[in-house]
Structure 1
Amino acid sequence: MSKGYHLLVLHAHLPYIKHIESMDVLEERWLYEAITETYIPLIRLLNKQVSDNIEGSITISISPTLISMLTDKLLQERYLFSIVNSQELAHKELKRNKDDPAYYNLAAFYLELLHHAEATFKQYDNNLITAFKYLADKGKIELITTCATHGFLPLYQEYPQSVKAQVQGALDLYQSQLGRLPRGMWLPECGYYPGLDAMLTECGLDYTFVESHGLLNATPQPKYASFAPVATSSGLCVFARDSQSSKQVWSAEEGYPGDPDYREFYRDIGYELPLKYLANCLPGGDVRTQTGFKYYRITGKTEAKKPYKPEWGKSKADMHAQHYMEQRVKQIEDLSRNMQLPPVILSPFDAELFGHWWFEGPVWLDYYMRKVASDQSSYELITPSNYLDKNLTLQQADPASSSWGANGYADVWLDDSNKWIYPLVHSAVQDMVELARYFQTPSPIETRALQQAAREVLLAQSSDWPFIIKTNTVTPYAEKRVKEHLEHFEALKKGLWEKSIDEDYLSRLEIMNSICPNINYTLFR
């Protein structure tokens, strides 16, 4: 038996954003950036590990909203348009920097990355879910899911129908796209409340994750703190996040991403060069935003940034991967002295940290996985299902209410800035329950309207909207999205009750907000 286990979980999620009326919407670019900077680099490095027979597996949670966007034909076409647009900008940058070798070489470096991204995207017929499925079939990753629209479940616990719709809706989409059911689920924002485990096991799930204090405050108190999973009274296996191994990776202040040799995220030519020069790459031609062309390294706490050197960043990623592995060896050895079970270290991260926010993240991950594979005497890099299949005896305990984020409970998703959302959405949930119970044998068009009404309620529940409002980033957009989904629901509800469904309006909504195509509205009964 191994001395210990490291579970590395990447949570890939973006809010559902699809604007059929325009291809020039700023927020829709979040998807294209993540594809180029995170998802494709991860796919490429993991594919290379498969071909190199590198042992060790990680877990990737892909949200239903992200699956829906990655499999959407319109968004696939728009991504290819955006990548060609970026390549054109790269050629312009080569000309602009032809007399400055440092910046010219960086422009050439980005052009090569863009060509790799386009080639990889087309390799899978524009559908990256196919790539992730291949990696899962090869055992390199375990694919799991999260809730249908990433709703923060603790704030809807008084409406079990809504929680069931979030959970089961996600599982139905996952099965339709991947041909199987996941064993685990990432709880949006790690939001857990007592009793949720019963819902998850009822839906056929074997495990989930919580923030460390959710397990530390469990009843009874776990014998091994957060370093071994527990089995709840309903039989769900619950793993807890390890703060030490997590902070080293995600924290720009205390972790690796803040190293002076890594690429500076915030210095982008989209904010620095003349608008006329950038017009073809900016929303509306005049809204400054990220272009992906970043020429500086972090350097230090100074505005006088030095040119980025990819080889330096790669070298530091190698060094930090070695350090990270050595720290896990020490951590597991220290814990093993006082444990009868092999310690389990859970390190969950937003997938978009790797590549988008931390440019060298995928390189670091590749180095780390290869180093662990070559040093098999210390610990194993495995998935939760790998662990469960070992059939170890787990302590029974029931986790406490918890989430990740500031203060560790629901503070981020419920405060004075966003609290107005919940009475409105709760009212819509109640109305949806009433509709689902009343329409026992709906006509075909009534079934479509009920399904779309369910989608609109779920989309209004997305945890992304209150998060954006709380952090005051693109607040007007988030507020607009909540209100629009509720307006759509009200219009559909009115048409259902009055037997006057506007089919043209319904059809437009089905195209615009097409998540979970097989959504079962009766989950709200």
Structure 2
Amino acid sequence: MKKGAFAFVLHTHLPFVRKAGVWPFGEEWFYEAMAETYIPILDMLNSLRRDGCRASLTISLTPVLLEQMADEYMLSQFRVYVADRISRAESDIKRFSSDAAMLKIARFYREFYSSTLRSFDSVYRGNVTGAFRDLQDAGYLEIIASAATHGYLPLLIRDSSIYAQVETGVRTYEKYLGRKPKGFWLPECAYRPSYEMREDGSSRLKKGIDEFLRSAGIDFFIVDTHAFEGGESFPASRTSAPGAKKFTLEQKGEPGSRTSLLPYVLGSECSVFARNRRTGMQVWSGEYGYPGDGNYREFHKKDSESGLQYWKITNAKAGLGEKEIYAREKIYSRVCENASHLTGMVGRMLSDFSSAGGGAFGIVVAPYDSELFGHWWFEGVMFLEKALRALSLAENGIEITTLGGYLEKHPPQQAIKLPETSWGAGGYHHVWLNSETEKMWVHIHEREKKMEEMVARYGGAAGILKDALDQAGRELLLLESSDWPFLVTTGQAKEYGRERFSRHCENFDAICGLVDSGAGDEELGNLVARVNGADNLFADLDYNIFACRE
């Protein structure tokens, strides 16, 4: 008899980096994630499929990432990147010919990247989005949608912007995955309810984020633990990444009767799940959790010539100069122990919850950034596979499921009202709105209003004029990305985040300015071609999607 359910939820997102720098910031983020996370996850899931293991998980693929995964330029450059990694490993094999330990790792890297390239070209035929779609169609994966460019929805001031982010996200999902999405990943798990907005002496009710989702046909989304249970929030998402600042801001609340082990339903009829705090800490934290094991590969220390990583974490206090050589042969047993530990932890939580709740069939929801597995935590994909296999064993009494699959069998029985929330440090908006980023939001809000004005002024546009307005819409979506204020706040790539934000603002202003000036088709067409040469996502976008909805 099953005592409850468990769902891995992987949030898969990168900002739009096409022709916007390569290294250290830009396209290489995409190439690294493809080689170390996305293709290994596909390989892992197909391995489970071949073995008849019906373990499944939920994964989000953001629209901006789907566009890059399908872009011929990005895919051709990915091949160049992987070929270069193989070449670096081969050079290291020659260089370390008299060092048995280093030689062994160099050979491992050569095979790792060669295998990645074989999977990409021979197994998936360069079609990564199609490979994910195939797994969903076969029932081994549930893919959920997200906002177009990962816009931070609670801080957008115009309903037209929220609508455009959500609707473009849903349409892009349908384009690449061939069906309508049931679930939605809110960027940064950021939510706000409806509220009364006072402006110019009048007031009106602004819709809650869930109402936009429900209007788009979405059944469920996810928030952080504290939105249900109160208490402290620990930072998730990329705020925990190397180089990120740590914030002491906390949001505390009185623990109530709600639990993160059950979904609830909102007034909009959208269901909502919450992240489980214990599994979040255990799998995410490099300080307290599995990724901090001293045997696992050290992320930060790289060989001065090849850039490949030959060292292990060793211990939490060891400086880079004190790191010991990475030993792959010690990894397998540690990963199996971690997977077994997680399985036991989940089983105990579900048993305790069922006993205390009169047999309630709970669910442990465990969401993480996909890039944690393989990129930040190199052994993470192997851990996912072992955990999925262990959790799906009948004797453990755990139903491993997707969020949509759980809802079909166990629809929520109680309603809830959610507070304003995110999964950032402090549980609120501080990571994205603070003294370093507040001016960015002034610029965003000005351009949200300007886009509505452009739609009203140039309704029914055709030809080059429509192309220009469509491109202005793409630039607005790009400048709304939550990635830019995130990079500024955390200090991971402060100047890059500012430069990218400014570039999209400038592109938007240039297009709108030229349109308003009455420029001819040739001048306008040249500008659009230049901007679209880099920012070519959402080819089917229609600027009318930004019509005023207040």
The interval holding the TM-score normalised by the smaller chain is: over 0.9
Count of residues paired in the alignment: 504
- Cα deviations across residues 272-292 of structure 1 (Å, max 9, x unaligned)? 33xxxx5xxxxxxxxxxxx3x
Letter in 2 for 1:302: A
Whether 2:300 is the aligned partner of 1:251: answer: no
- Alpha-carbon offset, residue 377 of structure 1: 4.7
- Say which of 334, 337, 352 aligns to 2:355: 337
**SS of the residue aligned with 1:513?**
coil
The question of whether the paired residues in 1 share the 8 Å contact of 2:228 and 2:258 is answered with no
SS of 2:465 mapped into structure 1: helix
Give the deviation of 1:421 after TM superposition.
0.3
Once the 2 structures are TM-superposed, how far is the Cα of residue 392 of structure 1 from its aligned partner?
Answer: 3.1
What is the CA distance between 1:138 and its match in structure 2?
Answer: 1.5
Change in CA separation of 1:222 and 1:180 when aligned onto 2, cut-off 3 Å:
farther
Counterpart in the other structure of 1:286 = none
Distance in 2 between residues matched to 1:236 and 1:220, nearest whole Å:
25
Q: Which secondary structure state, in structure 2, belongs to the residue aligned with residue 466 of structure 1?
A: helix
SS of the residue aligned with 2:6? strand
Corresponding position: 1:63 with 2:62: yes
Q: Compared with structure 1, are the counterparts of its residues 305 and 217 closer, same or farther at alpha carbon in structure 2 (3 Å cutoff)? A: closer
**Offset, 1:56:** 1.8
1:217 and 1:400 in contact (8 A); partners too = no
Q: Does 1:212 align with 2:234?
A: no
Which of 299, 318, 321 lines up with 1:302 in the alignment? 318
- CA deviation after TM superposition for structure 1 residue 524, in Å: 1.2
**8 Å contact kept, 2:63–2:172:** yes
Q: Among 429, 434, 439, which residue is 1:420 paired with?
A: 439
Partner of 2:239 in structure 1?
A: none
- In the other structure, the counterpart of 2:90 is 91
Equivalent-residue separation in structure 1 for 2:298 and 2:154 (angstroms): 36
Uncovered stretches (5+) of structure 2, i.e. residues with no partner: 194-207, 232-252
Shift of 1:452: 0.8
| Matched letter for residue 461 of structure 1 | E
Which residue of the partner structure matches residue 538 of structure 2? 516
Question: In 2, Cα distance between the equivalents of 1:7 and 1:391?
Answer: 14
Q: Report the CA distance shift for 1:521/1:394 in structure 2 as closer, same or farther (over 3 A).
A: farther
SS state of the match for residue 344, structure 1?
strand
3-state SS of paired residue (1:6): strand
Residue in 2 that maps onto 1:503: 525
Distance 1:204 1:463, change over 3 A: same
Could you list the per-position Cα deviations for residues 177-210 of structure 1 after superposition, in whole angstroms to 9, with x for gaps in the alignment? Answer: 1111111110000000001111110011000001
CA contact (8 A) 2:392 2:398 kept: no
Q: Where does residue 262 of structure 2 map in the other structure? A: 228
Partner AA of 2:209 in structure 1:
L
Q: For residues 42 and 33 of structure 1, what CA distance do their matches in structure 2 show?
A: 13
CA distance in 1, matches of 2:110, 2:539: 37
Are the equivalent residues in 1 in contact too, given 2:263–2:412 (CA < 8 A)?
no
How has the CA–CA distance of structure 1 residues 338 and 24 changed in structure 2, closer, same or farther, with 3 Å as cutoff? closer
Which amino acid is the alignment partner of residue 16 of structure 1?
Answer: F
Following superposition, the deviation at residue 74 of structure 1 comes to 0.5
Q: Is the 8 A contact 1:59 1:143 kept in 2?
A: yes
Return the letter of the residue paired with 2:291. P
Judge conservation of contact 2:265–2:412 (CA < 8 Å) in 1: no
Structure 1 residue 432 corresponds to structure 2 residue 431: no
Shift in alpha-carbon separation, 1:371–1:392, aligned structure 2, 3 A: same
Which SS does the other structure have where 1:145 is aligned?
strand
State the AA in 1 paired with 2:292: G
Choose from 209, 228, 233 the match for 1:196. Answer: 209
Superposition deviation, residue 57 in structure 1: 0.9
Structure 2: how far apart are the matches of 1:317 and 1:217?
33
Structure-2 residue corresponding to 1:185: 184
Q: Which amino acid aligns with 2:329?
A: E
Counterpart amino acid of residue 105 in structure 1? K
Q: What is the SS of the residue equivalent to 1:9? A: strand
Spell out, residue by residue over 1:76-118, the C-alpha distance to the aligned partner (whole angstroms, 9 max, x if none). Answer: 1101011111111111000000001100010000000011110
Decide whether the 8 Å contact of 2:262 with 2:412 is kept in 1: no
Question: CA separation in 1, counterparts of 2:298 and 2:4?
Answer: 35
Cα gap change, 1:522 to 1:296, in 2 (>3 Å)? same
Structure 1 counterpart SS, 2:533: helix
Distance 2:531 2:10 in 1: 31
What value does the CA root-mean-square deviation take over the aligned residues?
1.8
Determine the structure 1 residue equivalent to 2:5: 5
Q: Which moves more between the two structures, 230-239 or 310-319? A: 310-319
- Map of 1:283 onto structure 2: none
1:265 paired to 2:299: yes
Correspondence list, 1:366-405, <5 A: 366-405=385-424
Say if 1:314 and 1:360, in contact at 8 Å, map to a contact too. Answer: no
The residue aligned with 2:128 is 128
- Tell me, yes or no, if the aligned pair for 1:169 and 1:520 is still in contact at 8 Å: no
> How much does 1:499 deviate?
2.5
Partner of 1:238: 272
Structure 1 residue 309: Cα displacement: 1.0
| Distance in 2 between residues matched to 1:211 and 1:181, nearest whole Å | 25
Structure 1 counterpart of 2:119, one-letter code: T
Query: Between the two proteins, what is the percent identity of the paired residues?
Result: 34
Using a 3 Å threshold, how does the CA distance of structure 1 residues 217 and 266 change in structure 2: closer, same or farther?
A: closer
User: Is 1:52 aligned to residue 75 of structure 2?
Assistant: no
Deviation of 1:246 after TM superposition, in Å, equals: 0.8
Q: Which moved further from structure 2: 303-312 or 369-378?
A: 369-378
The residue type equivalent to 1:297 in the other structure is K
Q: 1:312 corresponds to which residue?
A: 330
> 1:266 aligns to what SS in structure 2?
coil
- TM-score, with length taken from structure 2: 0.89
| Unaligned 5+ runs, structure 1 | 279-290
Aligned twin of 1:284: none
CA contact (8 A) 2:48 2:55 kept: no
Counterpart in the other structure of 1:288:
none
Residue range with higher mean Cα deviation, 333-342 or 201-210: 333-342
* Structure 1 residues 521 and 215: CA distance shift in structure 2, 3 A: farther
Deviation for aligned residue 1:438:
2.1
Give, as a single letter, the amino acid of the residue that structure 2 aligns with 1:387. Answer: Y
Q: Are the aligned partners of 1:405 and 1:412 in contact in 2 as well (CA < 8 Å)?
A: yes
